[in-house]
């Protein structure tokens, strides 16, 4: 059975158009769950990833999942979760929304309200779409980026305090 599985993976990898790193990672995916509490809400990010080819290569990950629970209500979403205006903006810059992965998460308190903050990255680069921030209120509602609770320096300061999420970034 084991030889058959390895043989099947070898054939599939030989036929794959996506590149060698995905094939080298075949069968070595591991699921991680990272959690934080943010006011009355609990936020969980689930990432299923395989280690990159070496210590400098990005990990290979499947789409992440988010669960946010508050006051008995549970909301789940596939990530990246962005509003339509942000998706349009990324596509206009020739970026790909599917390349964004949450690499950090945190909680910010602004004017007596708590917001779960997710920081997305494509794993490097300086293009406008290579990093992205999203915020959720305590009920789990995704906020429009025009109504974002933090801007500029406040976000940069927060980044250092945010919890690292197991995903595309090498350890």
Q: 148 lies in which domain range?
A: 28-164
Q: Is the residue at 2 inside a domain?
A: no
- Cβ-based neighbours of 87, under 8 Å, separated by 6 or more: 97
Task: For CA atoms 85, 86, 91, 94, give the dihedral sign.
Answer: positive
pTM score, whole prediction: 0.81
Q: Is the residue at 7 inside a domain?
A: no
Give the pairing type, strands 41-50 and 65-70: antiparallel
What's the token pair of residue 113? 């309200």
Measure the CA–CA gap between 92 and 38, rounded to whole angstroms.
33
Q: Is the residue at 5 inside a domain?
A: no
What are the start-end ranges of the E strands in the chain?
Answer: 30-38, 41-50, 60-61, 65-70, 73-78, 101-110, 113-121, 131-136, 163-164
Q: Is the residue at 96 inside a domain?
A: yes
In total, how many domains does the chain have? 1
Q: Is the residue at 14 inside a domain?
A: no
Q: Is the residue at 17 inside a domain?
A: no
Q: Is the residue at 23 inside a domain?
A: no
Instruction: Per-residue pLDDT tens, the chain, 171 aa: give them.
Output: 333 333 333 333 433 434 444 444 455 999 999 999 999 999 999 999 999 988 889 999 999 999 999 988 999 999 999 988 889 988 888 888 999 999 999 999 888 889 999 999 998 888 878 888 899 998 899 988 777 777 777 788 888 899 999 999 987
Name the phi and psi angles at 101, rounded to 5: -130, 140
């Amino acid at each position: 059975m084991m030889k058959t599985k390895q043989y099947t993976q070898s054939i599939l990898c030989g036929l794959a158009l996506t590149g060698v790193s995905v094939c080298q990672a075949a069968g070595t995916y591991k699921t991680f769950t990272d959690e934080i509490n943010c006011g009355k809400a609990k936020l969980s990010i689930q990432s299923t990833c395989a280690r990159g080819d070496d210590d400098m290569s990005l990990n290979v990950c499947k789409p992440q999942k988010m669960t946010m629970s508050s006051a008995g209500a549970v909301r789940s979403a596939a990530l990246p979760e962005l509003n339509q205006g942000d998706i349009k903006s990324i596509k206009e810059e020739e970026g790909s929304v599917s390349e964004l992965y949450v690499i950090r998460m945190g909680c910010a308190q602004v004017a007596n309200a708590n917001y779960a903050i997710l920081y997305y990255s494509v794993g490097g680069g300086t293009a406008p779409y290579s990093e992205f921030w999203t915020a959720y209120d305590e009920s789990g509602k995704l906020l429009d980026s025009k109504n974002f609770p933090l801007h500029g320096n406040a976000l940069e300061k927060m980044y250092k305090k945010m919890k690292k999420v197991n995903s595309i970034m090498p350890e």
